[in-house]
Homo-oligomer: A and B are copies of this chain.
Amino acid sequence: MRSPREDALEIARKAIDAVLPENALRRALEGRLFPGKVVLVAIGKAAWRMAKAAADVLGDRILRGVVITKYVHSQGPIGNFEIYEAGHPIPDENTVIATEAALQATAGLSRDDVVLFLVSGGGSALFEKPKGGVSLKSIIDITDQLLRSGANIVEINAIRKRLSAVKGGQFAQNLHPAKVYAVVLSDVLGDRLDSIASGPAYPDSTTSEEALRIVQKYGLKLDTELLKLLEEETPKSLSNVETVVIGSVKVMCEEAAKAASELGYNTEILTTTLDCEAREAGLFLAAIAREEKGYDRPLSHPCALILGGETVVHVRGQGLGGRNQELALSAAMGIQGLEGVAVLSVGSDGTDGPTDAAGGIVDGSTITKLKEAGYDPEEALKNNDSYHALEACGSLIKTGPTGTNVNDLTVLVCQ
């Protein structure tokens, strides 16, 4: 068996590899037959890469394609596809133009035809057609009112879906009788499919009643016409849609668990929705590591515990770092002196905070090395300076942008 660091890195590499748009899309399309026409619509920050991968697999079986991604996210032409860039996180006129192009490309399809709908994070801003009578400006204004009033994303979507002609399942509903094969790369914790990109091809779990209640709750200022629109109900079921989530923090964790098992580790996924303060998650994990080394539990060794999610950092210092780096540095303090233990935490998109690192990897010797390099780990944490601390002891992970984003992966390996 190799070192716990090497194995943790391999587990993370395989897990992220599995959720790269190309690989994930290939799995989703493999062996799949499309008897009629196939029209591709790809929306979101990973739209270009997902569309490219689909084109590589399906070739000229795709009749037409419309790709809508964020500015500077297109990487050139793909066959005869129309490629659009538009505003994110705030939609702009190009959003509406591109969405109109997608609607035209998919108009008039028959029941044998399939819209291959590739969805990734950011799709909510990048795919929008205001409902008749609504201006894009009103949508932006209302979203802004909601954000400032402290409404959560489910509440915001309940309103926005009703002011849109494509969100909340309406895009797919209008394609009927054509089929929709929705392939989703999710950056939303918990994989709530009607939230990802505001669910253009997914039944809406929010209701008009809720939408009206939200208007009251936050005292939103809406025209009578818009209020009327909120009363129109969104689709609650869609018979023509099949959805597959090819990449998500859940898929990444499951792939990490698979990779760890293949390396001979007893493996458990603790959570795929980790959302606490990064450094405290590191301490919590270290406490589990100590239990593993002291009493061979919760799992018997060698073992790997897998976590996914998006921790938070409350910045109080002036240093450089990111949530994965803070988690790793903090964990290092809790596993100091333990042998055969490594903790890795990494952003699947290859970035972590405003740094060129994707995360960090630490073991029982990290703190000693750090102190030898003249760093005080507690001071570094206090100053939110995990980057420089981990850099000083060779504990940064650098991958460069990976092209996917399904949030963060954390791995604890105990041999």
Contacts and interface: CB of A to CB of B under 8 A. Distances in A.
A280 B291 contact: no
Chain A to chain B: the 3 pairs with minimum beta-carbon distance, closest first = A280-B280, A276-B283, A271-B287
Contacts of A288: 270-271
A269 interface: yes
Interface of A: 190, 250, 268-277, 280-281, 283-284, 287-288, 290-291, 294-295, 297-298, 309, 334
A261 to B, nearest CB: 14
Nearest to A298: B268
Contacts of A271: 284, 287-288, 290-291
A284 B295 contact: no
Given A290-B190, A294-B190, A280 B276 contact: yes
Nearest to A269: B297
Interface centre among A190, A250, A275, A291 (most CB of B within 10 A): A291
Given A190-B290, A190-B294, A294-B190, A276 B284 contact: yes
B276 A290 contact: no
Given A270-B298, A280-B284, 5 more contacts: A250-B295, A268-B298, A269-B297, A269-B298, A270-B291
Contact of A272 (B250, B272, B291): B291
Contact of A287 (B250, B276, B290): B276
Contact of A283 (B270, B275, B287, B290): B275
Contact of A297 (B268, B291, B295, B309): B268
Contacts of A276: 280-281, 283-284, 287
A188 B283 CA distance: 18
